[in-house]
């Protein structure tokens, strides 16, 4: 097949290159930028001239891969699996991926009906430990559901643990979610998430850089994370040990100028150590979806003000509160002492004391006044917050 004679030569060239070049290959990205996909594919197919910046050994390896590549077959398999290949310049291509420079994907294999470009415009990554705790799974699921209810797309890696919980939270809320895989988008990996990835493909999107049928490797998981970071407005890390792959996603987000957030956990938990390290740097602490949306959303999308419980004494007039606070914790006090403590007149203090007695806060003992048991609990609670 002569790629340069094909009306769809650019598409077919990139399909071939997705089979030949490893994801994140910056040398390959530089060739694409300088020569174009068709010329790079032609040289690989024709055996030369050799592309610059690589050894003879690596060139030979690329030529062998190119010889084995079958773009027509990959496109046919993709079509049968309900997949399409989205490339830079295509109307569905998310422009924010261009921020990756020469590490930008050659293209993305996409399974699902929605537009990847439109969904990526309002998306947040939720990532974390595979072997997460019950707390981590709960927080990830709650965040996924909350973000979906706020109209945001939840992006994650489809893995066990935090990823799966975030996807399920979004699906359970009837929302949108995207799984970015480190293998062919037609493959269910991990195998235990076959049903989950099927639901995501029906209700959302499953995407990946690798061609149909290709398998994951440890290095492919790491480079996959840059796509999650670049695709979204911000990354939330729920649980992560100090060497967690989700920290790679967060740090990629920081380099790209995206928002980076962390959900705190117990100080004694090794699975929260990586998150706490992020929080000590430039990440923002978040505890729910509203706080995430306040950070990544449009102006005016503010989280509700956080307040403690409203106590009955909080509903008193300011003058009455001052008189109540002026009474001693134990024993009685004369009206003059109470007035001085409340910085008011004795007549005003007496009037307030009778008002407080009607509400059950104080009681009179001879010429003095004292707090009731109810008031002692309320006043002590109020003083502890000062």
pLDDT digits (tens, 9 = 90+) for 255-268: 999 999 999 999 99
| Residue 7 pLDDT level (bands cut at 50, 70, 90) | very low
Q: Is the pLDDT of residue 2 over 60?
A: no
Lowest model confidence (mean pLDDT) among 86-100, 133-147, 356-370: 356-370
Span 44-59, average pLDDT: 90
The secondary structure of residue 211, as a DSSP letter, is P
Report pLDDT digits (tens) over 94-145. 999 999 999 999 999 999 999 999 999 999 999 999 999 999 999 999 999 9
- The whole-number pLDDT of residue 360 equals 86
- The whole-number pLDDT of residue 1 equals 41
The secondary structure of residue 53, as a DSSP letter, is T
pLDDT above 70 covers what percent of the chain? Answer: 90
| Number of continuous H segments (helices) and E segments (strands) in the chain | 17, 11
Calpha distance 206→116 (Å, rounded): 10
- What is the fold of 99-296? Rossmann fold (3.40.50)
Span 244-257, average pLDDT: 95
- The whole-number pLDDT of residue 303 equals 58
Span 225-244, average pLDDT: 96
Q: Is the pLDDT of residue 313 over 80?
A: no
**Residue 325 CB neighbour total at 10 angstroms:** 15
Span 32-43, average pLDDT: 95
Question: Strands, DSSP E only, in the chain?
Answer: 83-86, 108-111, 123-127, 153-156, 177-181, 205-208, 234-237, 259-262, 284-285, 362-365, 368-371
* Residues with Cβ within 8 Å of residue 335, at least 6 apart in sequence: 346, 349, 350, 353, 369
Calpha distance 323→341 (Å, rounded): 7
Q: Tokens for 100, please give them.
A: 């990756």
- The whole-number pLDDT of residue 181 equals 98
In the chain, residues under CATH classification 1.10.10.10 are 312-384
Calpha distance 11→27 (Å, rounded): 20
Span 300-315, average pLDDT: 61
The secondary structure of residue 368, as a DSSP letter, is E
Span 203-230, average pLDDT: 96
- The whole-number pLDDT of residue 384 equals 42
Q: Give the largest Cα separation in the chain, rounded.
A: 108
| Residue 310 pLDDT level (bands cut at 50, 70, 90) | low
Tell me the H-state helices in 115-260: 116-120, 134-149, 162-172, 194-203, 218-231, 245-255
Phi/psi for 250 (5° steps) reads -65, -40
CATH of 312-384, one of 1.20.1630.10, 1.10.10.10, 3.30.420.40, 3.40.640.10: 1.10.10.10
pLDDT, the chain, mean: 91
In the chain, residues under CATH classification 3.40.50.450 are 99-296
Q: How far is CA 175 from CA 148, 166, 198, 285, in A?
A: 5, 11, 15, 24
| Residue 304 pLDDT level (bands cut at 50, 70, 90) | low
Q: Is the pLDDT of residue 4 over 90?
A: no
């Amino acid at each position: 097949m002569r790629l340069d004679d094909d009306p769809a030569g650019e598409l077919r060239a990139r399909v071939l290159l997705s089979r030949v070049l490893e994801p994140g290959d910056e040398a390959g990205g530089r060739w694409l930028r300088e020569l174009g996909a068709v010329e790079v594919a032609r040289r690989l197919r024709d055996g030369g001239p050799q592309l610059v910046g690589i050894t003879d050994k690596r060139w030979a390896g690329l030529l062998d891969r190119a010889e084995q590549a079958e773009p027509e077959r990959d496109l046919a398999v993709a079509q049968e699996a309900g997949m399409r290949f989205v490339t830079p310049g295509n109307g569905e291509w998310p422009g924010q991926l261009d921020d990756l420079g020469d590490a930008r994907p050659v293209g993305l294999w996409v399974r699902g009906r929605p537009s990847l470009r439109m969904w990526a415009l309002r998306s947040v990554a939720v990532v974390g430990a595979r072997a997460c705790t019950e707390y981590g799974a709960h927080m990830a699921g709650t965040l996924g559901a909350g973000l979906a209810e706020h109209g945001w797309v939840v992006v994650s890696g489809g893995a066990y643990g935090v990823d799966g919980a975030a996807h399920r939270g979004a699906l359970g809320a009837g929302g949108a979610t995207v799984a970015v895989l480190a293998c062919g988008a037609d493959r269910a990996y991990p195998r235990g998430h076959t049903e989950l990835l099927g639901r995501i493909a029906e209700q959302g999107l499953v995407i990946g850089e690798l061609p149909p049928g290709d398998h994951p490797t440890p290095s492919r998981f790491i480079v996959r994370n840059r796509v999650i970071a670049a695709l979204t407005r911000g990354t939330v890390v729920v649980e992560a040990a100090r060497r967690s792959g989700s920290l790679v996603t967060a740090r990629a987000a920081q380099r790209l100028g995206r928002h980076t957030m962390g959900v705190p956990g117990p100080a004694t938990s090794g699975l929260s150590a990586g998150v706490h390290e992020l929080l000590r740097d430039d990440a923002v602490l978040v505890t729910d979806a509203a706080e995430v949306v306040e950070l990544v959303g449009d102006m005016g999308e503010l989280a509700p003000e956080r307040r403690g419980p409203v106590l009955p004494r909080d509903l008193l007039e300011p003058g009455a509160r001052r008189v109540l606070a002026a009474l001693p914790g134990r024993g009685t006090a004369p009206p003059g002492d109470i007035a001085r403590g409340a910085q008011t007149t004795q007549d005003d203090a007496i009037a307030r004391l009778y008002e407080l007695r009607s509400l059950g806060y104080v009681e009179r003992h001879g010429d003095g006044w004292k707090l009731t048991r109810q008031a002692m609990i309320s006043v002590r609670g109020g003083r502890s917050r000062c």
